[in-house]
Amino acid sequence: MNVDADLAALREFLAANGLDGYLIDDDASDSDQRYVSGFTAPDPYQTLVTDDGVHLLVSGLEYGRASAEANADSVTRRAAYDYQQLVAEHGQYEGRIRTIAAFLADHDVDAIAVPRTFPTGTADGLREHDFTVTVESEGIVTDIRATKTDWELEQIRASQRANEAAMARAEELIATADIEDGILVHDGDPLTSERVTEEIEITLLRHGCSLDDTIVACGADAADPHDRGSGPLAADELIVIDIFPRDKETGYHADMTRTFARGDPGAAARRRYEVTREAYDAALEAVEAGVTGADVHGAACDVIEDAGYATLRSDPTTETGFIHSTGHGVGLDVHEQPSVSPAGGELQPGHVISIEPGLYDPNVGGVRIEDLIVVTADGYENLTEYRVRLEPMAGDPR
Amino acid sequence: MNVDADLAALREFLAANGLDGYLIDDDASDSDQRYVSGFTAPDPYQTLVTDDGVHLLVSGLEYGRASAEANADSVTRRAAYDYQQLVAEHGQYEGRIRTIAAFLADHDVDAIAVPRTFPTGTADGLREHDFTVTVESEGIVTDIRATKTDWELEQIRASQRANEAAMARAEELIATADIEDGILVHDGDPLTSERVTEEIEITLLRHGCSLDDTIVACGADAADPHDRGSGPLAADELIVIDIFPRDKETGYHADMTRTFARGDPGAAARRRYEVTREAYDAALEAVEAGVTGADVHGAACDVIEDAGYATLRSDPTTETGFIHSTGHGVGLDVHEQPSVSPAGGELQPGHVISIEPGLYDPNVGGVRIEDLIVVTADGYENLTEYRVRLEPMAGDPR
């Protein structure tokens, strides 16, 4: 990985607090560590940021790969600190602590900052060996990650290309389905949420991506933004498809939502689609560096409230209308900084965010339209190449 | 989920150490929490084990699902402790701590044990509110998880059925490939590691499973047990296929390895296959409750050493021969307790373990044969229904 991360803000924090290093002790599930180290492994490893560089402590099994792939100034294997002997002498738990202590001492570090999620076992163990361990509670690395480097933008674009292929496959299935007794039918079988989801996943797999979850929700299901959907897809109903894949190699996500309807979903649904599209246009129009995520969210709310629908701004307890925030950062995590919500701070060039207003009502169904964009100095660049259209079509979606 | 976990050993630990509760603060990636709570969520939630039950603290978004699905005696939403107001007043970090503190107080808990991986931010925050926080360093929950309940065995069996379908698809591709210039060819294109891997993943998806990784390695690639394999598969070479899927609903894994060869891999490869199979038979023969994982590993080493090959027991620095352990526990994690290695302790009824001896040499290639079994009072039950055979065949693999 070649993230080319700028860790200056982290080093300033260390200097300002008289600390020698920032230590992460986690595994592949921690995106901050993956970002800082340019490396990922299924088993825990340690990443130390000091004034003079980024240093990794890994098992012998990972040493070759870490040396070749990591964005690190040094990679050391545990055996260099007699890990096996320490475990044999002191047990697994204390042997591990002593190995990390030796790694820190080797880099002249005795006062460290750690992330909020740093293991208490490691923190307390190091404290018993007279290290100072302080939790860095502001999430500096997470904030740094919000601004994407050019290399990261390339990876996110690639994931969005895979996402577009998967959405096009789903749209094609819906567009070409027969309608029998009000139900979409393909090759003689009902076209279900589950079947469309499977085709989305297979298309993503063929493009090097995976996903843990996807949403293909029809009718009342789609009125709950968190319902994944199930069962046959119906004609004359709104169908919300939200796909958020992760590239299996790079770990970077994409995110996109489209809403389709076969047949006639009715005037209420069509109007909601148009209003959602206007809110999406207004939110996009509001985006530029220096504007806050709250302002962008406000622009979407203005349109929706003006059209006579509730938002959480006009009614904090509403269960219909626009009942989530306008967007979120996307990167190594599918939900990350910055926030495009009432709490959203200033947008900066290189922030990658989703713009995804929606309207929900169990009696009508759900509408959501979502693109992925990158904030620029005077606006945004849309990372999504996919038309916005309620009637599904087969073929090139650009 | 209906794990029906027996947490008596955890409660004995709490009582013996004068602690009121065991607290987990993690997300879907923590199998111990999923096991104890019978619940999983993408965002962090808290699970508290006390003398009188298992108690969950979740976001409003997860409350409905947690109430319906979790194995908990109580589920409380954060709003019950004024989470949003606390965050507004004290910030995200301290607001979260105060909410957890109120949850603990509500259950009359002021001295807690936490897992090694418990977030230092939460531990230190609770300590500042005068809670006693002690790391439970023995891994009691992980030990409890090693012994599977009947419900868990059903889930693992289901994952292994999916695994067998995927292996059968891979075997069929290899069995039915043409051979051109020493390379396996399918539909006119070289049959690559990547293509077989994709077909494995698609088959698993159709059976409700996913995987992060799989191994389809040929020739010298397969001589490194951790190489995932790449490029065209060759005739007259050993091909190792190791699949370890996870059921997307239940989270339970399966694990199986087979080794195939098209054409003639040569006498050295054939002999290695036979010796590996004998080691696999000997290891299976050694399994029963009361025997140690070390004994089972020893039985496999005996066969391999007697046949004249090195093991890590006969030569701790060898890079060829049998260069890993005989097996590991499989469940919510693909590698968990117990260990079937020199460090492996006593096997107990309900332990689910892999048995996977192998022989490796860059000049010959790799062989590995792996089944998944459950330990019983007087032997084992094999959870794998898949023949052991070097020449690949299409059709029913039982």
Q: Where are the alpha helices (DSSP H) in A30-186?
A: 31-37, 60-69, 83-106, 120-128, 140-146, 150-176
A chain contacts of residue B23, beta-carbon cutoff 8 Å: none
What is the pLDDT averaged over residues B337-357?
A: 97
Question: For the segment A60-95, what is each residue's pLDDT rounded down to a tens digit?
Answer: 888 988 999 999 999 999 999 999 899 999 998 999
Q: What is the pLDDT of residues A12-53, one digit of tens each?
A: 999 999 999 999 999 878 999 999 999 998 889 999 999 999
Question: In the predicted model, is pLDDT for residue A184 greater than 80?
Answer: yes
Tens digit of pLDDT for each residue in A334-357? Answer: 999 999 999 999 999 999 999 999
In total, the C-beta contacts within 8 angstroms joining chain A to chain B are 69
Handedness of CA B296, B299, B303, B306 (dihedral sign): positive
- Residue B130, pLDDT > 70, answer yes
Count Cα atoms within 13 angstroms, Cβ side, for A387.
13
Of B61, B122, B202, the CB nearest to A205: B202
CB contact under 8 A, B212 and A210: yes
Which of B119, B135, B137 shows the shortest C-beta gap to A118?
B119
Give me the pLDDT at residue B362, please: 94
Which residue is listed with tokens 């809110």? A279
Nearest CA-CA distance, residue A124 and chain B, Å: 8
pLDDT at A208: 93
CB A297 within 8 A of CB A344: yes
Identify all chain A residues contacting B206, using CB atoms and an 8 Å cutoff: 198
Contact list, B121 vs chain A (CB under 8 Å) = 115-118, 135, 137
Alpha helices in chain B (DSSP H): 8-16, 31-37, 60-69, 83-106, 120-128, 140-146, 150-175, 193-206, 267-286, 293-306
Give the phi and the psi of residue B92 in degrees, each rounded to 5.
-55, -45
pLDDT digits (tens, 9 = 90+) for A256-280: 999 999 999 999 999 999 999 999 9
> Which positions in chain B touch A206 (Cβ < 8 Å)?
198
Give the nearest partner residue to B117 out of A119, A124, A212, using CB atoms: A119
Residue B52 CB burial class (10 angstroms; 0-12, 13-18, ≥19): exposed
Nearest to A119 among B29, B118, B205 (CB): B118
A201, A162 Cβ separation under 8 angstroms: no
Q: What is the mean pLDDT of chain A?
A: 95
Beta strand A21-26 pairing with A111-115: parallel
Enumerate the β-bridge partners of residue A322.
A311
CA-based nearest residue in chain A for residue B123: A120
Which residues, 6 or more positions from A38, have their beta carbon under 8 angstroms from its beta carbon? A1, A2, A3, A5, A69, A70, A71, A72
Chain A residues within an 8 Å CB radius of B210: 210, 212
Domain A147-382 is of which CATH architecture? Answer: Alpha-Beta Complex (3.90)
B212 with A212: Cβ contact below 8 A: no
Q: What is the residue type of A22?
A: Y
Strands A239-243 and A256-260: antiparallel
Question: Whole-number mean pLDDT of chain B?
Answer: 95
- Option in B117, B124, B201 nearest A205 (CB): B201
Share above pLDDT 90 across residues of chain B, in percent, rounded to a whole number: 92
Q: Contact at 8 Å (CB) between A389 and A171? A: no
Distance CA B372, CA A398 (A): 48
Q: Is the peptide bond before B44 cis (omega within 30 degrees of 0)?
A: no
User: What is the per-residue pLDDT for A27?
Assistant: 84
Q: What pLDDT sits at residue B1?
A: 63
Mean pLDDT along residues A394-398 = 92
Residue A225 has pLDDT above 90, yes or no: no
- Work out the average pLDDT over A215-237: 94
- Residues from B contacting A (CB-CB < 8 Å) are 29, 42, 61, 93, 114-124, 133, 135, 137, 198, 201-202, 205-206, 210, 212, 226, 248
Convert the pLDDT of each residue in A159-168 to its tens digit: 999 999 999 9
Contact A205 B210 (CB under 8 A): no
Q: How far is CA A359 from the centre of its chain?
A: 22
Specify the pLDDT at position A335: 94
- Within 8 A by CB and 6+ apart from B209, the residues are B159, B162, B163, B166, B245, B246, B247, B248, B254
Q: Minimal Cα–Cα distance from A165 to chain B, Å?
A: 17
Q: Output the CA angle B45-B48-B50, nearest 5 degrees.
A: 170
For residue B138, give the nearest of A260, A45, A94, A64 by alpha carbon.
A94
Q: What is the pLDDT of residue B3?
A: 78
Check A120 against B135: CB less than 8 A apart.
yes
Mean pLDDT for B41-53 is 93
| Domain segments of chain A as ranges | 8-145, 147-382
pLDDT at residue A1, as a whole number: 63
DSSP label at residue A89: H
Identify the CA nearest to A242 among candidates A230, A227, A261, A232: A227
Measured between CA atoms, the residue of chain A closest to residue B251 is: A212
| Residue B2 confidence (pLDDT) above 80 | no
Residues of B in contact with A143 (CB under 8 A): none
| pLDDT band at residue A3 using 50, 70 and 90 as cut-offs | confident
Superfamily for the A8-145 domain: Creatinase/prolidase N-terminal domain (3.40.350.10)
